[in-house]
Chain A
Amino acid sequence: MTASRPRTLAEKVWEAHTVRRGEGAEPDLLYIDLHLVHEVTSPQAFDGLRLAGRKVRRPDLTIATEDHNVPTVDIDLPIADPVSRTQVDTLRRNCKEFGIRLHPMGDAEQGIVHVIGPQLGLTQPGTTVVCGDSHTSTHGAFGAMAFGIGTSEVEHVLATQTLPLRPFKTMAINVDGVLGESVTAKDIILAVIAKIGTGGGQGYVLEYRGSAIRALSMEARMTVCNMSIEAGARAGMIAPDEITYAYLKDRPHAPKGADWDAAVANWNELRTDEGAEFDAEVHLDAAALTPFVTWGTNPGQGLPLGENVPDPEAIADENERIAAEKALSYMDLKPGTPLREITVDTVFLGSCTNGRIEDLRAAAGVLAGRKVAGGVRMLVVPGSMRVRAAAEAEGLDKVFADAGAEWRQAGCSMCLGMNPDQLQPGERSASTSNRNFEGRQGKGGRTHLVSPLVAAATAVRGTLSSPEDLN
């Protein structure tokens, strides 16, 4: 492990997992420490294994959950949609046949794949983590190299526990300063994406650095890394520190006893060395940030909440101007409208971006003693059954119910509407999820991405709002 030159965190993790270096144009072969599996992107991969007569090489490094399709009400009944039910049943059969641990609907450990990995302590610093889901970048918050893969790659990892990959370039995202009141990790990442664009991170792994990042909790760090993919980067990372170790210690799969000490000694090396060079660097002043919301149909089309809907005429780049025109037409918004005057029908609190206990606490803090505005429907969907249980132990479910919000079971839910939780055509949501693509939350639905605090304040006022607007 003695390096002759200073290396970035990403390079260290990459090199520690290189089974063999590619020769010439050939990619490196990377060992995968943890493979997370869910029902949507795995059936064709298991089929491929069967066709080729292959086994899962390391079932003990693989774990599955049901999250994308699962209903968030009546989970004791069979899934009503027969196609969703078939997909979930297929996962159950595959996990049984190939010996993979599965947390099915209703299980105490079930939840969104990116919530349960960290929660169980399986996501650890310096590991490589993959999943057939682009938000696998979430796990980078622990200093892991974590990225989404397609179904062919899922099959590849199941069969070989490796992936052929070319090293990513590295980009430092430096966020320094102290965040203001009601400004959160979600606002940081939305501002980053607006700054570098949806393609800005393509080919890079992002390393989030600086005093504002160091000050974030683990859950907030996960929110930041989660949306790296929305800037085009497959992975985002944060160097592990005492906050990381405190989160991990005593989790079910965290190392114990002497193993813990050995692991921490190893993890302490996982910092970008002094003098290491990034291929690109971006700087953001945390103190200048305010609550951030999206107005368009890609996550880069965002602005501070205090601004107005932009005028496409003022955009110089032709492709961006056309994209903005199409977005405003789809979103049914007029240039110049203050973002605070946009009314919503639905508020969605949940997802792998903002469905953890701190997110629920933040929203409940705003909703306590208040009511969801008439005509607004608010869905609260915990990221996992453990998050749900923790929230209930704290009485958060009561706060949501008293405010008039719906308290649901765990899953991906309205983030992508593969289950019945969908927007109707023309409906508009303030959503703590990660994508505002056309039709993402239901055909014809319109999405504004927001933080949990903004989601809660918006639910109360019925228009995009921050908690300060309630005073």
Chain B
Amino acid sequence: MEPFKTHTGIGVPLRRSNVDTDQIIPAVYLKRVSRTGFEDGLFAAWRGDETFILNQEPFRAGSVLVAGPDFGTGSSREHAVWALQDHGFRVVISARFADIFRGNAGKGGLLAAQCEQQDVEQLWKILENEPGTEVSVDLEEKTVRAKDFVAGFAIDDYTRWRLLEGLDDIALTLRHAEEIDTFESQRPNWKPVTIPAATS
């Protein structure tokens, strides 16, 4: 994973709450077996509407999405993160993220920055008054900036560290392989195993 320290890009105001994973990418777009190419499914139902924000200049080229609360509710599909990234988004700002989406974002290198709703409202105003305004996000300082407006954001320290360092979770866990071995050797023997196949 590429380290993430700072990012500056055009901010996209998405005035919607409860942007669920079926809105971010509908299920029919989840059939690919590759890790890329999901941009065509991003907000697919809304993209048909000319007035939708991502169909307008200069927001097409946006890379910082500023959304209403409860972003990413619903399914566990990591494709939601990939679709946002494939489209060019590096950061999503919201007052509240669904837990699984937040986790997936952290694994894939998309920054889910949790701001107060009043700060989200401020950002919306700035981005709507002057379309094309760039938003700067600094992960070390945990701040977002647009014009002279500055706000802090929350992210758990561990995810922040992993993103800053660009570290792979599996490699980190495998540093504890001996502890996993020890734990495994002490599991009760009546715990279920999936093989051999059932014969009922």
Contact = CB atoms under 8 A, between A and B. Distances in A.
Contacts of A252: 198-200
Report, as a range, how many residues of chain A touch the other chain: 35 or more
A262 B188 contact: yes
Interface in B176-200: 176-177, 179-180, 183-184, 187-195, 197-200
B20 A298 contact: yes
B46 to A, nearest CB: 9
Among B45, B184, B198, B199, max chain A CB count under 10 A is at B198
Contacts of A74: none
B76 to A, nearest CB: 4
Contacts of B199: 252
A44 B24 CA distance: 19
Interface of B: 15-18, 20, 22-23, 26-28, 30-35, 44-45, 68-70, 73-79, 81, 96, 98-100, 103-104, 107-108, 156-158, 161, 169-170, 172-174, 176-177, 179-180, 183-184, 187-195, 197-200
Contact of B192 (A34, A152, A164): A34
Given A134-B100, A438-B45, A61 B17 contact: no
A198 B191 CA distance: 34
Contact of A418 (B28, B32, B78, B190): B28
Contacts of B192: 33-34, 121-122, 124, 127, 253-255
A161 B190 CA distance: 18
Given A232-B98, A437-B22, A443 B31 contact: no
Contacts of B108: 152
A69 B98 CA distance: 25
Contacts of B20: 298, 435, 437
Given A148-B100, A252-B199, A62 B194 contact: yes
Contacts of A41: 76-78
A381 interface: no
25 contacts: A22-B158, A40-B30, A54-B170, A61-B193, A84-B31, A101-B197, A121-B192, A122-B194, A124-B191, A133-B76, A134-B74, A148-B75, A150-B100, A151-B104, A160-B170, A160-B173, A166-B158, A202-B99, A232-B73, A251-B200, A298-B73, A416-B22, A435-B20, A439-B23, A439-B45
A262 B156 CA distance: 40
A202 B98 contact: yes
A279 to B, nearest CB: 15
Contacts of A149: 76, 100, 103
